[in-house]
Amino acid sequence: MLIMNYEKYALIDLHLHLDGSLSPEIIIEIAKEEKLKLPSYEPNELRKYLEVPENCQSLNEYLTRFDIPNLVLQTKNGLRKCLLDLLKREANDGLKYVEIRMAPQLSTAKGLSQEEVVQELIKAKEEAQKLYGIKSNLILCLMRGNNNNVANLETVKIASKYLHRGVVALDLAGAEALFPNEMFADMFLLANNLEIPFTLHAGEAAGADSVRSAISYGAKRIGHGINSIHDEQLMKYLADEKIPLEICPKSNLDTKTIKSFDELPIKEFLNRGIMVTINTDDMTVSNTNLKNEYKILAKIGLTDKQMRQIAINSINAAFINEAEKKELLMFLN
């Protein structure tokens, strides 16, 4: 089977959530081992509980699909198997580098500490590199909410301890419209003081002001950022300061950030010199993979040159050193 031209650019995913990308098969395997109750133990049937329906109305509804995956991310066995399975699938799809997001505070229900969670995932990602040849790093998510600051503070400290040892950055995830960035200003100040880079979900369920806020706190990248299109000065700032946008087309459609793929402002962003990157967000919840995301770009008329630029942007935006970036750029030659 001939590889479509756009698929050769599907090499780097910078915005990929572990819990939103678990296969039904691995969830069932771990559930049986750990005697966990699932609504179904048949993969195609379970998938109905993991994917969002076409009539999903919002990000808040989208987030309800994470309950079942988090059941199998509570033990070292589950964490290891889930990450190995994900990275094996990504390697088989031709990806060379992935930055995987997860909130360690959500994997402590059965007694693991946040640090134990991160340690296990670092070991698993190193094992996956040896087994499948795919490189990866972790981005640790802080969680939006009213009572999360104690857990978030711990996550920041762990990110600092394991920075450049498997962890490369922090993130802030969750219900953006309900819990704005300003609620977590102390966490961003601490991260800056500890010199931990971070990318924030912004401009997805909230408007351009959320992107401005994220930048003001020191975000090095913006998760989604679609609503930047409504602010001319913000777009100029994003271009001038080379702040990458982590756009996830299928997810943006599912959460109703856009009403159709034709509304994706990617061409305009590129024409303005903004560093657009293309990612999956949640492969299982959105029933997608990186090749599919590039297929969407081809369908809405992006040229080969534009898609190549996006792939280059993704490499340059990664939280890795220059030598590692040069190594990845070789795959585009």
Break the chain into its structural domains and give their ranges.
5-332
Secondary structure (3-state) at 96? coil
Handedness of CA 81, 46, 257, 305 (dihedral sign): positive
Of 9, 69, 73, give the one whose Cα is nearest residue 282: 69
The number of C-alpha atoms within 13 Å of 120 and in the hemisphere containing its C-beta is: 22
Residue 3: what pLDDT?
Answer: 52
Residue 2: what pLDDT?
Answer: 44
Q: Which residue carries 């088989």 as its tokens?
A: 92
Tell me whether residue 204 is one of the annotated catalytic residues: yes
> Residue 62 in contact with residue 254, Cβ under 8 Å?
yes
Distance separating alpha carbons of residues 62 and 60, to the nearest angstrom? 5
Distance separating alpha carbons of residues 44 and 124, to the nearest angstrom? 27
Distance separating alpha carbons of residues 183 and 214, to the nearest angstrom? 12
- pLDDT tens per residue, the chain (333 residues)? 345 688 899 999 999 999 999 999 999 999 999 999 999 999 999 999 999 887 877 777 887 889 999 999 999 999 999 999 999 999 999 999 999 999 999 999 999 999 999 999 999 999 999 999 999 999 999 999 988 889 999 999 999 999 999 999 999 998 888 899 999 999 999 999 999 999 999 988 889 999 999 999 999 999 999 999 999 999 999 999 999 999 999 999 998 889 999 999 999 999 999 999 999 999 999 999 999 999 999 999 999 999 999 999 999 999 999 999 999 999 998
Q: Counting every residue, how long is the chain?
A: 333
Residue tagged active-site, from 7, 99, 120, 204: 204
The runs of H, that is alpha helices, within the chain are 24-34, 43-50, 59-62, 67-71, 76-92, 114-132, 149-161, 185-193, 208-216, 232-240, 249-254, 266-271, 290-299, 304-317, 322-329
Q: Amino acid letter at 33? A: E
Q: Taking the CB of residue 44, how many other CB atoms lie within 10 A of it?
A: 8
Q: Taking the CB of residue 2, how many other CB atoms lie within 10 A of it?
A: 5
Helix (H) or strand (E) holding 245: strand 245-247
Q: What is the CATH number assigned to the segment(s) 5-332? A: 3.20.20.140
DSSP structural state of residue 23: -
Q: Distance between alpha carbon 16 and the CA centroid of its chain, in Å?
A: 3
Residue 1: what pLDDT?
Answer: 39
Residue 333: what pLDDT?
Answer: 80
